[in-house]
Amino acid sequence: MILDFGSQYTQLIARRVRELNVYCEIYPFDSFPAPDGTVKGVILSGSPWSVRDAKAPFPDLKGIKGRVPLLGVCYGAQYLTHAYGGEVLPSKTREYGRAKLVKIDTADPLFTGVTPGTQVWMSHGDTIIRTPDGYNITGSTEDVSLAAFHITGEQTWGIQFHPEVYHTTEGTKMLGNFVRGICGCHAEWTPESFVEMTVRSLKEQIGNDRVVLGLSGGVDSSVAALLLDRAIGDRLTSIFVDNGLLRKNEYSAVLDAYRRMGLNVLGVDASAEFVEGLRGVDDPEKKRKIIGRKFIEVFDREAHRVQNVKWLAQGTIYPDVIESVSVNGPSATIKSHHNVGGLPEKMHLKVVEPLRLLFKDEVRRVGQALGMPGEILGRHPFPGPGLAIRIVGDVTPAKLETLRDADEIFISGLKKNGFYDKVWQAAVILLPVQSVGVMGDERTYENAVVLRAVSSTDGMTADWSHLPHEFLAEISNQIINRVKGVNRVVYDISSKPPSTIEWE
Q: Could you list the active site residues?
A: 74, 162, 164
Exposed / middle / buried, residue 58 (Cβ in 10 Å: 0-12, 13-18, 19+): middle
Question: Using CB under 6 A, which of the segments 35-43, 201-209, 362-370, 378-386 binds ligand XMP?
Answer: 378-386
Among 139, 191, 384, 413, binds ligand XMP (CB under 6 A): 384
434: how many CB neighbours lie within 10 A of its CB?
A: 14
In the bound complex, what is the minimum distance in angstroms from residue 338's beta carbon to ligand XMP?
Answer: 6
Nearer to ligand XMP, 207 or 497 (CB): 497
In the bound complex, what is the minimum distance in angstroms from residue 476's beta carbon to ligand XMP?
Answer: 23
Best CA proximity match to 141, nearest among 175, 94, 109: 94
Question: Using CB under 6 A, which of the segments 4-12, 106-114, 118-126, 379-387 binds ligand XMP?
Answer: 379-387
Nearer to ligand XMP, 179 or 376 (CB): 376
Nearer to ligand XMP, 103 or 360 (CB): 360
293: which residues sit within 8 A by CB, 6+ positions away?
none
3-state DSSP of 433-497: EEEEEEECCEEEEEEEEEEEEEECCCCCCEEECCCCHHHHHHHHHHHHHHCCCEEEEEECCCCEC
Residue 217 contacts ligand XMP per CB under 6 A:
no
Site track 447-476 with ligand XMP (rule: CB under 6 A), x = hit: ------------x-----------------
Residue 501 contacts ligand XMP per CB under 6 A:
yes
Cis peptide upstream of residue 381 (ω within 30 degrees of 0): no
Q: In whole angstroms, give the CA distance from residue 298 to residue 339.
A: 13
Compute CA distances 495 → 20, 137, 458, whole Å: 33, 44, 14
Nearer to ligand XMP, 21 or 495 (CB): 495
**CA angle 464-249-431, nearest 5°?**
45
Among 243, 425, 465, 476, binds ligand XMP (CB under 6 A): 425
Biggest CA pair distance of the chain: 89
Residue 143 contacts ligand XMP per CB under 6 A:
no
Strands 156-159 vs 148-151: parallel, antiparallel or unpaired: antiparallel
Nearer to ligand XMP, 163 or 385 (CB): 385
Exposed / middle / buried, residue 496 (Cβ in 10 Å: 0-12, 13-18, 19+): middle
In the bound complex, what is the minimum distance in angstroms from residue 500's beta carbon to ligand XMP?
Answer: 3
In the bound complex, what is the minimum distance in angstroms from residue 196's beta carbon to ligand XMP?
Answer: 31
Nearer to ligand XMP, 73 or 501 (CB): 501
Q: Are 2 and 14 in contact (CB under 8 A)?
A: yes
261: how many CB neighbours lie within 10 A of its CB?
A: 17
Q: In whole angstroms, give the CA distance from residue 357 to residue 335.
A: 15
Best CA proximity match to 72, nearest among 142, 132, 147: 147
DSSP class per residue in 216-243: -SSHHHHHHHHHHHHHHGGGEEEEEEE-
Restricting to residues 44-83, which ones interact with ligand XMP according to CB under 6 A?
Answer: none
Q: In whole angstroms, give the CA distance from residue 213 to residue 217.
A: 12
Site track 338-377 with ligand XMP (rule: CB under 6 A), x = hit: xx--------------------------------------
In the bound complex, what is the minimum distance in angstroms from residue 449's beta carbon to ligand XMP?
Answer: 17
H helix count then E strand count, the chain = 14, 20
Best CA proximity match to 42, nearest among 59, 65, 60: 65
Question: Using CB under 6 A, which of the segments 125-133, 175-183, 473-481, 493-501 binds ligand XMP?
Answer: 493-501
Restricting to residues 285-344, which ones interact with ligand XMP according to CB under 6 A?
Answer: 288, 338-339
Residue 496 contacts ligand XMP per CB under 6 A:
yes
In the bound complex, what is the minimum distance in angstroms from residue 424's beta carbon to ligand XMP?
Answer: 8
In the bound complex, what is the minimum distance in angstroms from residue 344's beta carbon to ligand XMP?
Answer: 18
Q: Could you say which DSSP state residue 165 is in?
A: S
Site track 248-277 with ligand XMP (rule: CB under 6 A), x = hit: ------------------------------
Nearer to ligand XMP, 401 or 502 (CB): 502
Residue 385 contacts ligand XMP per CB under 6 A:
yes
In the bound complex, what is the minimum distance in angstroms from residue 434's beta carbon to ligand XMP?
Answer: 25
Nearer to ligand XMP, 152 or 457 (CB): 457
Give the SS3 label for residue 310: strand
Nearer to ligand XMP, 24 or 462 (CB): 462
Among 48, 319, 381, 437, binds ligand XMP (CB under 6 A): 381
Q: Are 301 and 270 in contact (CB under 8 A)?
A: no
In the bound complex, what is the minimum distance in angstroms from residue 315's beta carbon to ligand XMP?
Answer: 11
Q: Which residues bind ligand XMP (CB under 6 A)?
A: 288, 338-339, 381, 383-385, 425, 459, 496, 500-502
